Amino acid sequence: MKKYLFTIFLSISSLLASPSCYDYYKVERQEIPSSFNTAVFILIDETTLFNESLKKEVWDNVLKFIQAGNYVYIAKFSAFINNNYNTKVFDFSLDTPLTQQERYDTRKDTLAKLDKCLNDQFIYVAQNAQKSIFESFQSIANAIPKSDILFSLKDFSENIIEPTQAERKIVILASDMLENSSVSSFYSKGSMRLITPQDELKNIEENSLWGNFGGAEVYVVGAGLVTSDKGTNYRDPKKLARLKGFWSSYFEKSDAKLVEMGQPSLKKIIQ
């Protein structure tokens, strides 16, 4: 049975190495969509230690967007230390189904193969997206001391998110949102410090670190998480409020809207 399932998985993976089921079966579309319905970008901060509940929350919010006509992009980031850097771990463009007229004009044997391929896309993307997400989270054994969040967001937003054509763009950002770089540090003695948003925004201006998210909606999971040898530190509401104020201003200036900042979890699933 295991051998049979493995064979099926290999055949699906081989088939979907083609960018599109329509390309694979040489089916010409009457109308090719000029943009994705929804593009979902999952950015995972390797410097933040997440528990299993928060990891599952990220995945649950991604799964619902694995739909026809959508685009899924998963990446991880930290700081440029050793072998750590901004890395795409998985992406996939899901095909849109044929229109009724296109189905009528397509041979029945080809139509059956095409329908199966489109269904297999969901299986392939779900399996690989889940694997990519859970493997991207930090483990205790691989702690990374620095986090270039601002630089990473500038990099991904300008080079990936803004250029992507989609009716709706969603960024799911799994991070403590605590910058710890040469530009600024949101830490003090191992805990989150009380930042002054205007001072930090001035740092961004001086270092040209604004992003360009192309009107994306942003959802954060994990804000304010600080882990020490004695466990997770207390999260001061005043510090969290300042942190949220800073990031709200940052995203607004970077052509995005911070819809919800989970501290650490979101209050409801993304719609």
Domain membership flag for residue 237: yes
Kindly give the confidence (pLDDT) of every residue in the chain, 271 residues in length, as a single tens digit, with 9 standing for 90 and above: 434 333 334 444 444 444 799 999 999 998 888 999 999 999 999 989 999 999 999 999 999 999 999 999 999 998 666 666 799 999 999 999 999 999 999 999 999 999 999 999 999 999 999 999 999 997 654 566 678 999 999 999 999 999 999 999 999 999 999 999 889 999 988 789 999 999 999 999 999 999 999 999 999 999 999 865 444 556 789 999 999 999 999 999 999 999 999 999 999 999 9
- Cis upstream peptide for 264 (omega within 30°): yes
Domain membership flag for residue 186: yes
Sequence-separated (6 or more) residues with CB below 8 Å from residue 124: 12, 13, 16, 92
Domain membership flag for residue 30: no
Domain membership flag for residue 127: yes
The total number of residues shown for the chain amounts to 271
Question: Coil, helix or strand for 54?
Answer: helix
Q: What is the pLDDT of residue 10?
A: 40
Domain membership flag for residue 72: yes
Point out which residues pair with 174 in neighbouring strands.
44, 221
Angle at 52 (CA atoms; ends 86, 126), nearest 5 degrees: 65
Domain membership flag for residue 10: no
Q: What is the pLDDT of residue 143?
A: 64
Domain membership flag for residue 115: no
Q: What is the pLDDT of residue 47?
A: 87
Can you give the C-alpha Rg of the chain in angstroms?
21
Q: What is the pLDDT of residue 233?
A: 59
Q: What is the pLDDT of residue 84?
A: 65
In whole angstroms, what is the distance from residue 249 CA to residue 50 CA?
Answer: 25
Domain housing 252? 35-102+121-261
Structure tokens, 108: 């029945």
> DSSP character for 142?
G
Whole-Å CA distances, 30 to 24, 33, 256? 16, 10, 34
Q: Domain tally for the chain?
A: 1
Q: What is the pLDDT of residue 144?
A: 63
Structure tokens, 271: 């719609």
In whole angstroms, what is the distance from residue 62 CA to residue 192 CA?
Answer: 29
What's 231's domain CATH number?
3.40.50
Point out which residues pair with 42 in neighbouring strands.
74, 172
Domain membership flag for residue 109: no
Q: What is the pLDDT of residue 83?
A: 64
